[in-house]
Amino acid sequence: MTRIAVLGSTNMDLVAYVTTAPRSGETVTGHEFRTAPGGKGANQAVAAARAGADVAMIGAVGTDDFGDQLRTALEHAGVDIDLLRTTEGPSGTAHIVVDGDGGNAIVVIPGANGSLTSLCHADRALIAEAQSLLLQLELPMSAVLAGAETARRNGVRTILTPAPAPAQPLPCELLAVTDLLVPNEHEAATLTGVSGDPERAARALLADVPEVVITLGARGCLYASRAQPEPVAVLAPPVTAVDTTGAGDTFVGTLAVALGEGRPMTDALTWASAAAALSVQRPGAATSMPYRAEIDA
Ligand code: ADP
């Protein structure tokens, strides 16, 4: 079984459904409220576990009730949480307003995630034994960098999701130890300054990393590598989307499993696209992620 380590965030998603999102100074009455375990790290961990990998998560939850719920959700998904810390204070939370058109606006409060600034010996040992390390940008950069450097030293493939879109350029040290970068279209534009032309953005990103996949929502994804710089498109299966939250995390978690199993990149991208297309047809992030048999089918 493929072993995947995830170094990333766990957040409780607090979701308010409204017809029209409030502007500053305005109060609106919404029609529904839901809580759901989330965080880009935890979501990718659940996606990879459901897709059939042996997954361990390095992260932190708080001492509040959300911390217990986040821990339990990962455990139920079959994710190894031995290295998930509990730190004094609140867990990470994501405050999400979903409007009537399905658009959303999100405030993330890092909480316990912000306490994970460095790695311990056990974290490094776990990363060293994995086939891939999944990283995002919802933990302090010092930890993300330490994880990626540990992976590189041990020949472990690093897969970085540059989300949320960084306000500053990514540190060169991080890009230097990234094997595969998987931005969505918006993140790719932020990183390169090239918008509306994902082919050009993909080629530009190859200056920083050896392989890149830009996800394009319902239009699928683009893959480019230094060995094959002309981007290759993989179409998304045509489906009716009801909730695209977590589509990118489903895609990355599943892609990591396929690559870990030694599948060629185009097969892996097709499999990940099938998984993400299944997830957008159901509500929620982690709850909508498909199991291996469904993806194969
Ligand atoms: P993110 O969720 O990070 O914003 P995208 O919106 O690009 O990322 O979606 C990630 C992947 O999920 C896409 O590359 C595609 O495979 C799949 N996907 C997203 N939206 C749809 C959709 N409406 N129909 C089919 N597949 C989708």
Q: How many other CB atoms are there within 10 angstroms of residue 194's CB atom?
A: 17
CATH number at 171 reads 3.40.1190.20
Cα–ligand 1 centroid distance for 132 (angstroms): 22
Q: How many other CB atoms are there within 10 angstroms of residue 222's CB atom?
A: 22
Q: CA–CA separation, 113 vs 86, rounded Å?
A: 10
Which run of H or E residues covers position 59?
strand 54-62
Helix, strand, coil distribution of the chain in percent, nearest 5: 40, 25, 35
Q: How many other CB atoms are there within 10 angstroms of residue 149's CB atom?
A: 18
Give the range of the structural domain holding residue 161, as residue numbers without chain letter.
3-9+38-89+111-296
Among 43, 137, 244, 255, the mutation site with the greatest number of ligand 1 atoms within 8 A of its Cβ is: 244
The reply to whether 27 falls in a domain is no
Three-state DSSP state, 216: coil
Tell me what the pLDDT averaged over the chain comes to.
96
Q: How many other CB atoms are there within 10 angstroms of residue 185's CB atom?
A: 18
Q: Where are the alpha helices (DSSP H) in the chain?
A: 40-50, 65-76, 121-129, 141-153, 172-176, 185-192, 198-205, 247-260, 265-280, 292-296
Structural contact between residues 179 and 159, judged by C-beta atoms closer than 8 angstroms = yes
Q: CA–CA separation, 107 vs 118, rounded Å?
A: 24
Q: What is the per-residue pLDDT across 105-125, written as a single tens digit (0 to 9) for each?
A: 899 999 999 999 999 999 999
The reply to whether 68 falls in a domain is yes
Mean pLDDT of 28-44: 96
**Active site (annotated) includes residue 249:** yes
Q: Note if the pTM is more than 0.85.
A: yes
Cα–ligand 1 centroid distance for 149 (angstroms): 29
Q: CA–CA separation, 27 vs 40, rounded Å?
A: 29
The reply to whether 20 falls in a domain is no
Name the residue type at position 296: D
The reply to whether 25 falls in a domain is no
Catalytic residue among 54, 243, 249, 296: 249
Length of the chain: 297
**Dihedral Cα 237, 243, 249, 251, nearest 10 deg:** -10
The reply to whether 82 falls in a domain is yes
The reply to whether 19 falls in a domain is no
Q: What is the count of structural domains for the chain?
A: 1
- Residues lining ligand 1, CB < 6 A? 184, 215-218, 220-221, 236, 239, 241, 244, 247-248, 251, 273, 276-277, 280
The reply to whether 28 falls in a domain is no
- For position 284, what pLDDT does the model report? 78
Closest to 113 measured CA to CA, from 9, 240, 224: 9
Q: What is the per-residue pLDDT across 227-273, written as a single tens digit (0 to 9) for each?
A: 998 999 999 999 998 888 889 999 999 999 999 999 999 999 999 99
Cα–ligand 1 centroid distance for 169 (angstroms): 24
Mean pLDDT of 57-65: 98
Token pair, residue 21, equals 């999102």
Q: CA–CA separation, 188 vs 176, rounded Å?
A: 17
Sequence-ordered list of residues with C-beta below 8 angstroms from that of 121, at least 6 positions apart, any chain: none
The reply to whether 157 falls in a domain is yes
- For position 59, what pLDDT does the model report? 98
